[in-house]
């Protein structure tokens, strides 16, 4: 398996590659490697995660042989440090781009999920390690459901889920998809925060022009038309004719 992975990624400008058959969370493995000096754009991939996580300690399921679970260690430049809030968009946009190679048109459920046919097929979790006031390293964690076994039991889902292979006839090779994803990340990273980046991200937003409900924390909710994105990656809703900006945070978004 590891040699297939390395073959698939051959020639790409990655800092290093670490393959784990099974691990708690690739984000934890990546944060530990980053603390020991992993070079920029090092990649951790696991076949299985036993305690994969989403935001706010929610669980992310990765069963063996069925998904991609990966974390990319990035050492942000000074300019990238100003745009930490855009990295989740970077991961989402790269996956949307990679899926175009498979003829799949995917959407981004702001802020951190990728949908296919309005169902969740991937989740993104960005975590940072700080050195004083600066982000010293950033871990871009992505979980992608490729085969049906990747889908957790219904009771564990808070949003409908799907997998990539359900959309294409030819067998999907996980590591080919991983290569396409890395190529797309390498392509989009230098464009982080540029007009073209924001336009493409906005174009890919799920539920654009639709009425959505956004939960801000436990109790407060906003209902409005999903309008687009601001330059800092905030979501713009139109509520009773007025613009309302939603910043990345502990939010849930649903179509109504």
Q: Which residue is nearest to ligand BTN (CB)?
A: 123
* Binding of residue 252 to ligand ATP (CB under 6 A): yes
Residue 27 touches which of ligand BTN, ligand ATP, none (Cβ within 5-8 Å per kind): ligand BTN
* Binding of residue 21 to ligand ATP (CB under 6 A): no
- Written as six digits, the tokens of 248 are 């990345």
Smallest distance from ligand BTN to CB 149, Å? 15
- Residue 18 DSSP SS3: strand
- The answer to whether residues 208 and 228 touch, using CB atoms and an 8 Å cutoff, is yes
- What is the rounded CA–CA span in Å between residue 80 and residue 156? 35
* Binding of residue 58 to ligand ATP (CB under 6 A): yes
Concatenated DSSP letters of 161-224: B--GGGG-SSPPPHHHHHHHHHHHHHHHGGGTTSHHHHHHHHHTBTTTTSEEEEEETTTEEEEE
Peptide bond into 7 cis (omega under 30): no
* Binding of residue 156 to ligand ATP (CB under 6 A): yes
Summarize as ranges the residues that interact with ligand BTN (CB under 6 A): 25-27, 49, 52-55, 58, 60, 62, 69-71, 112-113, 123-125, 141-143
Choose which of 42, 112, 137, 202 interacts with ligand ATP (CB under 6 A). 112
Task: Compare residues 59 and 100 and give the one whose CB is closer to ligand ATP.
Answer: 59
- Written as six digits, the tokens of 98 are 């990679």
Residue 124 touches which of ligand ATP, ligand BTN, none (Cβ within 5-8 Å per kind): ligand BTN
Smallest distance from ligand BTN to CB 250, Å? 11
Residue 158 touches which of ligand ATP, ligand BTN, none (Cβ within 5-8 Å per kind): ligand ATP
Residue 69 touches which of ligand ATP, ligand BTN, none (Cβ within 5-8 Å per kind): ligand BTN
Q: What share of the chain is helix, strand, coil (3-state, %, to 5)?
A: 30, 35, 35
């Amino acid at each position: 398996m590891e040699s297939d992975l390395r073959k698939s990624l051959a020639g790409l400008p990655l800092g290093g590659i670490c393959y784990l058959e099974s691990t708690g969370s690739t984000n934890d493995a990546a944060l530990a490697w980053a603390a020991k000096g992993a070079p920029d754009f090092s990649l951790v991939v696991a076949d299985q995660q036993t305690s994969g996580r989403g935001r706010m300690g929610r669980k992310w399921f990765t069963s063996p042989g069925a998904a991609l679970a990966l974390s990319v260690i990035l050492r942000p430049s000074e300019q990238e440090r100003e745009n930490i809030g855009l990295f989740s968009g970077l991961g989402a946009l790269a996956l949307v781009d990679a899926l175009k190679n498979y003829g799949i048109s995917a959407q981004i459920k702001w802020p951190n999920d990728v949908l296919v046919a309005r169902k969740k097929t991937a989740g993104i979790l960005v975590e940072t390690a700080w050195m004083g006031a600066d982000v010293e390293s950033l871990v871009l964690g992505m979980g992608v459901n490729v085969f049906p076994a990747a889908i957790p039991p219904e009771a564990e889902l808070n949003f409908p889920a799907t997998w990539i292979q359900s959309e294409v006839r030819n067998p999907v090779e996980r590591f080919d998809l991983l290569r396409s994803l890395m190529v797309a990340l390498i392509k989009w990273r230098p464009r982080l925060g540029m007009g073209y980046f924001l336009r493409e991200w906005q174009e890919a937003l799920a539920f654009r022009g639709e009425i959505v409900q956004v939960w801000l924390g436990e109790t407060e909710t906003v209902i409005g038309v999903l309008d687009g994105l601001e330059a800092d990656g905030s979501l713009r809703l139109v509520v009773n004719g007025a613009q309302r900006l939603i910043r990345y945070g502990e939010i849930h978004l649903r179509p109504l």
